[in-house]
Structure formats: structure tokens, C-alpha cells
Structure 1
Amino acid sequence: MIGFRYIRARLSRPGFPSGSYTHPARKMSSQLKDQTLFKEQAFIGGKFVDAASGATFVVTNPATGDKIGSAAEMDVGDLQRAIDTAAAAFKTFRKTSGRARARMIRAWYDLTVANTEDLGRLITLENGKTLAEAKGEVTYAASFMEWFSEEAPRVYGDVIPASNGVNRAFTVKQPVGVCGIITPWNFPAAMITRKVAAAVAAGCTVVVKPDAETPYTALALAELARRAGIPDGVINIVTTSKNLQTVGKELCSSPKIKKISFTGSTNVGKLLMDQASSTLKKCSFELGGNSPFIVFDDVDLDLAVEAAVLSKFRGTGQTCVCANRFFVHAAVYDAFAAKLTAAVAKFRIGNGFDAGVTHGPLIHGRALAKVQDHVDDATAKGATVTIGGAPAAALGANFFEPTVVTGVTQDMKIASEETFGPIAALFKFTTEDEVVELANSVEVGLASYLMTNDVSRVWRIAEGLEFGMVGVNTGAISDAATPFGGVKYSGFGREGSKYGIEEYVTIKSVTIGNIGL
């Protein structure tokens, strides 16, 4: 097995690069160019506020375990205040023109781009991804603001020829109302902007519940929205940790919330859908995945490995569109495994603020335990680890070595469970029919990847794959211009693209009778 090297964390300066670290007991905001972007209160009605109870919860750095700061522990009463505020704001905001909303969102975009460095530092601090990757996420997050600022004035209806000849009919699209937005920790900026920018562009108001692991990025974006002139009450941020279940249930069951948008696990999505059913809310869910990455024997293996690394190890394997199962044609299986192992050997894991680090920690101990379980299960059933395969305990409690496993079979957990960590599991196949059946054998269907130079095969496989997205000869499929979403147990609805704003509007038809001939 090839050895693995990594950069040790600076234990004397666990949060930041040399010369810039301040002990957690001091104000973290001093590490930002704009210190006012660090907020420890929730955001309701254009103001940063404490929980009514005064309760807070601690937020820690996954790379070091150090306390970053606190956040407001909001309860159902606090949430109701946010919902009422959003409902009141909707009465006015829904009447604004698309062009006016476009200018607001564009100003929000401009401020976000201008503060990329600070937002990136917040993401690295609370999420753990490298600073370069975090700043890349900010750019990606901002792209949804730019996109939906351009879509806001173009929510078109239709003129419909009536059947009887004397009536005239047309449709208008109107904002659905107050939207509940629930976002995960793995993209603390982009998962918010992809939803909120679309909702605001449509004329909706929102109540956002970010993940308790990563509240600060959401709160900083709210501050920038306030500066951009987005009216008070249009965007509200409710933070909670221990009250997650009761707050989530109220968000789904409140009759004042007309839509729920959620990104997270399939199991939680099922629970939220059940809770939302009592009020028949409009829902869009982006849920779990188990992405296949198919490598045929006619492809350039260097290109395939480059795409595999990008897809699998972005965010240390903690993205919903990460390749989870690598299906490699038997004719190139050994060569691909060797090249992928060599590529992974070049990684450097460590604190995301340290120079030279390519991959950061997992988000918490539970995530690491699952990765370890998948490796242990695979090796116990005959798989071989070619690199990695163990925690990098010298770096901290949440670090795990990027791993390549060969000889993986269908009876192993990784074949049916999403790992959400840095394991590339290599399966072997020989025919098109076989690999399509294997790829489709899971109950989820979010992203999939296909590497081949055969154009006819591209059409056959892409049409046969039961996934909402297919990447061909690339490991990067996320783009504000293209629809993002899945099928089967990966949920429904689409985000981004021209279709994304449709999730936040309703269609009203108007028929005018007795026009005459």
C-alpha cells in the first residue's frame, strides 16, 4: 500500500495560519477584514436578536475542536416570531416589481463577491474545508444571486386561445408565499443562496434554519442582504441546536408557511414531508445520493482520474453529488486503480487555513465513525485498501485519510449506503447492461457520472441511468445555469437554472368571458 503524508496542525495556532490566530476566548471577529460580519445572534425583521430565553449553543471548529463562538438557541416561540415577521413582510414585498427585486439581489451579489475572503474564512472555520475551496464556494454561492437577479424580471405567463372563441384567457405567476428553508452544513453559503435567491426573485419571503454546525456563514449573508437593501422581514435566520426537532416540525406544520425547501438526508426528508402534509405545502427536497461513476475502457484514464478526484474528494467527500461507487471496466480496472491511488497520494490533509493543505477534516465524530465502518466492512469482506483507510489521529479527532478501496462487491455496505466521506470504492464490470443495472440498483437517484469517448454509448447510458443528473467526461456538474435535483428517494424539485424560480411561484389562470367576435 502506498504511504500517505499529511500536514500536521499547528497546535499552538489551531484556527488560523501562522501570525493571524487569536485565542477562541477573544472575539473571533478580529480575524475578519469586516469584523461586523461575525454574528452570534439570529436575524429577524432586519435585526440581529437573541433567543427570548437568552439560551445559546456552542459552535466549534471541526479541525481543532476549539470553540468558535455561540449562537442563539431559538425555540418554537422565536420561530413563530420569525414566521409572523416574514408573513407581514410578504404582504408588501409580493407587490414589488421583478426589476426592483433584481436590483436588490444584484446588490447582494456585489457585496458577497466583495467579501469573498471573509466569507471563505467563516466557512473554513465552521465547516473545515480548505480556504481555497471555501472561497470557491462563495463564488459558486454568489453565482445563484447573479443568476436569479436576472431571472426575477422574467417570470412570464402565457396568453391562451380559449376553446369557445368568445373568451380570452391568460396566466400569471405569483409568489407562493412565506417559505421555510432548511439547509445543511456541507455548503453553508451555496445551499442558502441557491434557495433564497430564487425565493426572493419570485417575490417570496423566507425563514431559514441553517445547520447548527455552520450558522455563521448564514448570518453573515443575512447581514449582507440587509446592506443590499433587501427589506426587513424578507430574509429571516433562525438558529437552533437542541430544539431542532420542534423547530423543524413547526416550520413544516405552520399554516403561514406555504412552501418547504430542504436539503439533507432522505430519512429526514420523509419526516419533513409527513409533517408538511397537514397543510399541503408546496415542497422541494434534495435528499441523499449514492452516485455511480462509470469508467469505460475507451476513455483517457488520466482524464478519468482527474474527473474522479474532483467528484469524489471535493469537500473531503462530504457532498451529495460525490461519486460513491466507481464502476470500472475490467480491461482498465487495475490501471485506473493505480493511477487513482497515485493521485490521492499527492493529497495533503490538515487544517484548512494551513498552506499546502488540499483536504480538511470531516464535520464531526459521527461522520468519521461512518467512514471507518464502511472501510472495516469492506476489508472484512475481502476488499483491499490501496491507500489511506484509517483516521489521521495526529491531526485531530475528525481527520480521516483519503482512501481508495479495490475489490469492492455488492454485499458491502458502501454498495448501498452513501458514505459521505473520502472513500473511493472500486467495483469491476464488463458490459453496458451490467453496469447500468448495478448503477440503478440503489433506491436513490441524484447524480451520476460517465466516462467514455463513444457518442452512441453516451446517449444509451445517460438515458438508462435513473438519476436526475448525469455528468459525461467531467466530475463537475454543478452550475447555476443547469437544473439541480434528483429522482427516486433523492427527492423532487429543481434548483438553479430557469426552472429553479418555478419552485417558488404558483400559476393563476384568468378567463375573460363574452368578448364577442
Structure 2
Amino acid sequence: MAMNIKEMLQNLGIQNSNPSYSTGNIWGDTHGSQIDSFSPVDGQKIASVAAASDEDYKTVLQQAVAAAAYWKAVPAPRRGDIVRQFGDALRKHKTDLGTLVSYEMGKSLQEGLGEVQEMIDICDFAVGQSRQLYGLTMHSERPSHRMYEQWHPLGIVGIISAFNFPVAVWSWNTALALVCGNVCIWKPSSKTPLCAIACQHILAAVLKANELPEGISSLLIGNAIGDKMNNDPRINLISFTGSTRVGRIVSTAVASRFGKSILELGGNNAIIISKDADLDMSVIGAVFGAVGTAGQRCTSTRRLIIHEDIYDTFRERLVAAYEQLRIGNPLDENHHVGPLIDKDAVESYLKAIEKAKQEGASFLVEGGLLEGDSYTSGCYVKPCVAEVENHFSIVQEETFAPILYLIKYKTLDEAITLQNAVPQGLSSAIMTLNLREAEQFLSAAGSDCGIANVNIGTSGAEIGGAFGGEKETGGGRESGSDAWKGYMRRQTNTINYSNTLPLAQGIKFNI
């Protein structure tokens, strides 16, 4: 594997053991500290990355400010063409980049390749969007006046992303921000720096080929970078993906300087399994939602709220499905579940299991750490299932691991109340063939989440829809629909083409 990984890194432009951060199109040494990237797949050190220093940060911001002045004047369709070229470059590097995502983060190879496909898809979406940055026209109450609104770039967009989707979430933000006329500065998770370097290298090559300024897209790696970005008034928008705890810090810092933020925070997602559900579909949706990416998605299924009439039957089928799961090297497509990101995540998983037992949970499928020659990294755990009450404090929390909680209900009103009775509000789903149940779930009196699905699980959102959630999930929206508006500022314009100056609301001002 070592030779294959080395070749893969070289194909992505990472050709030495100490790849550094990028300022736009320039790759060079820095004076910052060193960050080591270890694979949770086998525990091996992949490479060391130079973290950005204070001087590096200063340089990047200076370049971004200069680039922003240039980029906002470039016609939006031309900006879209650059994003199109980036999407084409991703197509060429899909296999290598998807493999790197799988190896550095630990998700299955299929999911790694799927994440790169999401990047390609959002580029395609953004290219079309570059010709559709529409404003509205309004009728003025004053004669011979015309009113309309238009959208302008914000300037500099800061993107702070998490380890679990080390490339896709950045692309959601970057593709839209670029076509909207902004420049981007990316602070990735220090747990997956090589994925970020590879992406930046691919985009930097496109920018260089088009003779565009440095600083249109920049990368800063390091644990201290986020605080600098959050408090920097030159960065007009911070898009943050991560925990609710850190999101509060980000939100407070950015708001204190009247900056804008897009917050994509925690999820505690439930699927309601109706007595009128297709049980075959429901089992598939529940299992994938709970164990995909080893439960490390913000949209992972954490809770199953199951009707009492089918509870025993569904529980039996679910346990049987869990017994068939194959856990191991995610680069092997025969495995369903890979490792957690690191040993800290394992510790959090084990503590959650212990806390659930202390609160009265009954485990149908026991969890635990996997050991042996196939699990040398110490990051492989068993997906587990427990019967609980929704009010348990551990159930109210988001544990980034494959722990699934089962809860019984009698009526749909009760199920919806249970679904909504957590602090988070990201994704939700109901499995039912009953049209009335589906419509009630989607109504204003139904799910309080930003995403509500019928007969599909809680994970696997498409880029065409706006992605995000309510309550402690932060209220941000990324990706499709009109999420592009979050990266622009609205301006209302009134044009008087008469030879007088009538005032609004019929006011008279004679001088």
C-alpha cells in the first residue's frame, strides 16, 4: 500500500514528505510548526505538513485583499468558466483524490469517490448559477421611477471545514463563492491536511493556467488559524462546519465585528418507522444512515423512532442486518464500515456507550473496540444498537460514532414530538406508505429540521437542494437552491428618470 499511496500523492502534486500550505498559486516553505497526518486505516504516518505561521497568514490576507478587488470585476459567466475548468480537473483526478479521502479520513472508498463526485456536481451547478445571479424588479409608488435589486460580491470568504467531509464541503462553498465574485481562504481540519493540499493544488493549477492573480483561492493549515479568521474584519463571511460548541465561539466572534457567518453544526437525526412503512427499505435506510462513514456524518442516523406494532419485528431485522456488517480497511470494497478518525474519537465512543448504560440503555448489539492484525490503527469499533428513552442525556447529545438508539412510539404526533425533542435540527426522515402521515411530517406542525425526507434516510443530501438545519445546527444553508445568496450582499436601487423629485409616501418638501 505504501507505494500506491506515494504514487497517488505524486499524482495529486504532493511530491515530498513535507508539503506546505499554498498561498494562491505559490507553493513554498513556511516557518510554522509541523502537523503530521496519520491514516486511521493502518495507523501509518502519511506525511508531515508545515502549518502556517503568523507571517504566512499576513501574506495570504494581503494577497486575498488584492485578488478580491480584481475578481469581483470579472464577469460572472467568466468566473463560472473557471469553476467549469476546476470541475473538469476534478474529473481527471477523481480516483486519486477519492482514494486519498478514504485513506486519510477513513471512510469507504465508495464514499471517498462519491465525495469527489459531489465536488464535480457542485461545480456543474455553479457554472449554471453564474448566469443566474438574479435580482428582482419592483414597482415604485413614485411616477417615472424604477426600482430593482441586485447582488454584489462580499469580498473574502473564509471556509473552516471538518474532517468528516474533507473535500466536499469546501467545494460547496468555494464553487458558489467564486462564481459570486468572492475570493476564498480555506482552513481545513488538521486531521485531514493532505486532502486539502491536493484540492488546493488542483484549483491553483487552473488559476495559473488562466493567468489569474494569487489569492483567489488560498489555503492555511494550522489549529490557530481559525481564531485569526473569525476575528479578522477583512474576511466578510465565515462558513464554519463543525461542532455546536465551537460554532457558538465562531458565531460570537464573527457577530461581534458585524461579519456574516454560515453555520453548519451538529445533528441528532431520527428516522420515524411507521407501521405502514416498507420494512425492507427501512432497514437499508436505517443501517446505512447509522454506520455510513462510521457514524461520522452530521446527517448520520442517531435515533430510530419505531411504531409499537412493528417494533419487535423491525428490531429483529435490524439486529440481523448488523450481524452481517463487515468492518475493516475502507479501501477494500467488501467492507461496509471503516475506522473512526482517531483514538480521541474512539474514546468519545466508548464513553458514550458507558454513559448510555448508566442511564439505563439496553444494548441489543454490543459495541467495543476491535483489536487484532486487521485493526492495528486502534481506530476500529463495532457499530452498536441500544434501546433507550429519548430524554436520556446521552441521547440528547451528538456522538460522532456508529451508535444507534431505538425508541418506541404509539401515535404519529408522539413520534414527531420525540423527533423534535432534541437541541439539534439538521436532518430527519419518515418511512411510511401512508400519504397522510408523510404530509403531516412535512407540514409546519411536523419535523422542525432543515431537511425532512420521506422514504429515504437522513443522509445522502443532493447538491441541488439547500443543505443545513435549525436550532443548534446553526441555521446556515450551503450548496443548492438559493444558497448562493449567502455569499453576496443585496443592494436596492431606485432610478428617477423624470424631471422632478417626488418624495415617497407623498411627502411635500417645498423650498
Return the TM-score normalized by structure 2. 0.92
Please give the alpha-carbon distance, in whole angstroms, between the structure 2 residues aligned to 1:289 and 1:360: 21
Question: Which residue, 222, 226, 230 being the options, matches 1:252?
Answer: 230
Aligned to 1:156: 134
Please give the alpha-carbon distance, in whole angstroms, between the structure 1 residues aligned to 2:467 and 2:35: 33
1:221 correspondence with 2:199: yes
1:460 correspondence with 2:440: yes
Question: Which residue, 357, 369, 379 being the options, matches 1:398?
Answer: 379
One-letter code of the match for 2:205?
A: R
User: 1:38 Cα deviation (Å)?
Assistant: 5.7
One-letter code of the match for 1:50?
A: D
User: 1:370 Cα deviation (Å)?
Assistant: 1.8
User: 1:166 Cα deviation (Å)?
Assistant: 2.6
3-state DSSP of counterpart to 1:320: coil
Aligned to 1:29: 6
Task: Flag the 1:76–1:459 CA change in 2: closer, same or farther, 3 A.
Answer: farther
Question: Unpaired segments of 5 or more residues in structure 1?
Answer: 1-15
3-state DSSP of counterpart to 1:134: helix
Q: Is the 8 A contact 2:24 2:219 kept in 1?
A: no
For residues 103-148 of structure 1, the C-alpha deviation after alignment (integer angstroms, 9 at most, x for no partner) is: 1111111110121110012111210112122111111222111111
One-letter code of the match for 1:237?
A: L
For residues 28-57 of structure 1, the C-alpha deviation after alignment (integer angstroms, 9 at most, x for no partner) is: 532457252567211103112332x25321
User: 1:381 Cα deviation (Å)?
Assistant: 3.7
Q: Is the 8 A contact 2:267 2:298 kept in 1?
A: yes
Please give the alpha-carbon distance, in whole angstroms, between the structure 1 residues aligned to 2:434 and 2:195: 43
Please give the alpha-carbon distance, in whole angstroms, between the structure 2 residues aligned to 1:351 and 1:41: 28
For residues 155-192 of structure 1, the C-alpha deviation after alignment (integer angstroms, 9 at most, x for no partner) is: 01222221111322222211111011100000111111
Q: Is the 8 A contact 1:302 1:339 kept in 2?
A: no
Please give the alpha-carbon distance, in whole angstroms, between the structure 2 residues aligned to 1:314 and 1:298: 25
User: 1:322 Cα deviation (Å)?
Assistant: 0.8
User: 1:411 Cα deviation (Å)?
Assistant: 4.5
Aligned to 1:41: 20
One-letter code of the match for 2:88?
A: D
Aligned to 2:40: 62
Please give the alpha-carbon distance, in whole angstroms, between the structure 2 residues aligned to 1:35 and 1:379: 46
For residues 388-428 of structure 1, the C-alpha deviation after alignment (integer angstroms, 9 at most, x for no partner) is: 411112213111011122x2113534320112111111111
3-state DSSP of counterpart to 2:302: strand
Q: Is the 8 A contact 1:76 1:250 kept in 2?
A: no
- Aligned runs of 1:423-442 on 2, under 5 Å? 423-442=403-422
Question: Which residue, 427, 431, 435 being the options, matches 1:447?
Answer: 427
User: 1:454 Cα deviation (Å)?
Assistant: 1.2
Please give the alpha-carbon distance, in whole angstroms, between the structure 1 residues aligned to 2:345 and 2:225: 24
3-state DSSP of counterpart to 1:339: helix
Once structures 1 and 2 are overlaid, which stretch shifts more, 468-477 or 119-128? 468-477
RMSD over aligned Cα, in angstroms? Answer: 1.8
3-state DSSP of counterpart to 1:115: helix
Please give the alpha-carbon distance, in whole angstroms, between the structure 2 residues aligned to 1:283 and 1:404: 36
Identity of aligned residues (%): 29
User: 1:387 Cα deviation (Å)?
Assistant: 2.5
Please give the alpha-carbon distance, in whole angstroms, between the structure 2 residues aligned to 1:502 and 1:202: 9
3-state DSSP of counterpart to 1:428: strand
Aligned to 1:50: 29
Question: Which residue, 504, 508, 511 being the options, matches 2:487?
Answer: 504
Aligned to 2:295: 317
Please give the alpha-carbon distance, in whole angstroms, between the structure 2 residues aligned to 1:32 and 1:46: 18
Please give the alpha-carbon distance, in whole angstroms, between the structure 2 residues aligned to 1:335 and 1:354: 32
Aligned to 1:342: 320
Please give the alpha-carbon distance, in whole angstroms, between the structure 2 residues aligned to 1:375 and 1:333: 22
Please give the alpha-carbon distance, in whole angstroms, between the structure 1 residues aligned to 2:282 and 2:481: 30
User: 1:153 Cα deviation (Å)?
Assistant: 1.6
Return the TM-score normalized by structure 1. 0.91
Task: Flag the 1:337–1:121 CA change in 2: closer, same or farther, 3 A.
Answer: same
Task: Flag the 1:480–1:255 CA change in 2: closer, same or farther, 3 A.
Answer: same
Q: Is the 8 A contact 1:350 1:361 kept in 2?
A: yes
